Structure 1
Amino acid sequence: MHPTLRLMGGDDRVLGKNGKFLGSWGHFGNVKQRGIITYALSPNKQNPFAGAAHDAIFNTWRRFSKQVLYFAPPMVFFYYAMSWAVERNEYLNSKAGRAEFADSE
């Protein structure tokens, strides 16, 4: 006899000689689990910052090197464009600039 999907939906119905279906997550049945081995380490024996400085340096460099070509060229371009615009504005508002472009307005 094969259990139907409705029977395997987490009900507590008995499925013949195999016992109960485990059910969905959070609603497990009473079937004993076999062959599951768990290991634990005491919080007193753990070192939570093991290799943190080393990983921080190399992970930061790896992430920076992957992204630098996305933001560095536009920043360089706009820096030079802004410096040119500031210099041009200062020249146009100077005595020499006003004398040169007085006729164009």
Structure 2
Amino acid sequence: MRPTQALRGGGDIPLGKYNKFIGHWGNMGGRPQKGIITYGLSPNRQKLFAGAAHDAVFNTWRRFSSQVLYVAPPFIAAYFLMNWATERNEYLNSKAGRAEFSE
């Protein structure tokens, strides 16, 4: 049994090339646009590394400068804390430290 025109979407809705509904979404059944010109360039004809070194330097600096204040202070604090802990451990295990804290 073949579906009727009403079941396909109504009587005034156009059917496409292969008898399929081609309306509504983006007005696909409308008239084609005119006056739109697009140009393309083959990937084989482009300069692959044009400005790559220049962009890499400045993009790296931009990314570094935007993140350094989030990363550097915790690393600096961890370095000083670890340095203090190492010196304290060496003092407590030395002759003077054992004499000071022995019972």
With normalisation by structure 2, the TM-score equals 0.69
Amino acid in the other structure paired with 2:47? N
Does structure 1 retain, via aligned residues, the 8 Å contact 2:13–2:23? no
Question: Shift of the alpha carbon at 1:66?
Answer: 1.2
Q: Distance in 2 between matches of 1:79 and 1:35?
A: 65
Q: Which residue of 2 aligns with 1:8?
A: none
SS in 1 for 2:25: coil
SS in 2 for 1:44: helix
Change beyond 3 A, Cα 1:68–1:91: same
Q: Which residue of 2 aligns with 1:101?
A: 101
Change beyond 3 A, Cα 1:23–1:46: farther
Name the % identity: 65
**Higher percent of residues as helix:** 2
User: Per-residue displacement from partner, 1:39-81 (whole Å, max 9, x unpaired)?
Assistant: 0112232112111111011000011011111111221111011
Does structure 2 retain, via aligned residues, the 8 Å contact 1:22–1:31? no
With normalisation by structure 1, the TM-score equals 0.68
Change beyond 3 A, Cα 1:38–1:66: same
Give unpaired runs (5+ residues) of structure 2: 1-11, 15-21
Whose relative contact order is higher, 1 or 2, with alpha carbons under 8 Å and at least 6 apart? 1
Give unpaired runs (5+ residues) of structure 1: 1-11, 15-20
